[in-house]
Amino acid sequence: MNRLCIALLLAVASASVASNVEPEVPGVAELDNYYDFDNHHGPIEVVPESRQNLIVGDIGPDDRLMARITHRVQGAPFLNHDQDITFRGPEYTNITGIFVTKIGSTQNALPTIRSGGLWNDFVIIRILGAKSLGYEYNIDIFASINCSNS
């Protein structure tokens, strides 16, 4: 009888714990400083539910779009794609914004900054792809150019 009561008590406890687990629902954030150059409608919405986008820095009034790159990799069976994308600006360039945004559905790739980045004249972005899957990303790099004639 004691074993039956203990088994019943454990079953009820595990069922109540399992029923209280709810998945997190991500919110939607609006980035005021990111300008959509294709549509010219102002700020765009970015869903922060995953780490598949990389947004670092912001765009100021003196910043220029230095590079817009669309990086696409086709998936292959049993292959993990690991690629580095390098941008090197001219001398006296200070990178102020790096926007790496995925195109299309979930691809389980992860973009990271490997070297350089903000307030440097170069950046190396590494994109780690999931096994057997490809990916497609837009990479926008904004910078200010600081030069003097003295």
User: Residue 132: which domain range?
Assistant: 51-150
Q: What is the pTM of this model?
A: 0.64
Q: Does a structural domain hold residue 4?
A: no
Could you give the number of structural domains in the chain?
1
- Helix, strand, coil percentages, rounded to 5, for the chain: 10, 45, 45
In angstroms, the CA 133 to CA 120 distance is 32
pLDDT digits (tens, 9 = 90+) for 122-132: 999 999 999 99
Check if the beta carbon of residue 57 is closer than 8 Å to that of residue 120.
no
Q: Does a structural domain hold residue 106?
A: yes
Q: Does a structural domain hold residue 9?
A: no
In angstroms, the CA 65 to CA 44 distance is 17
Q: How far apart are the first and last CA of the chain?
A: 93
Q: Does a structural domain hold residue 11?
A: no
Residue 78 has pLDDT above 70, yes or no: yes
pLDDT digits (tens, 9 = 90+) for 36-51: 445 444 444 444 445 7
pLDDT for 94 equals 94
Residue 100 has pLDDT above 80, yes or no: yes
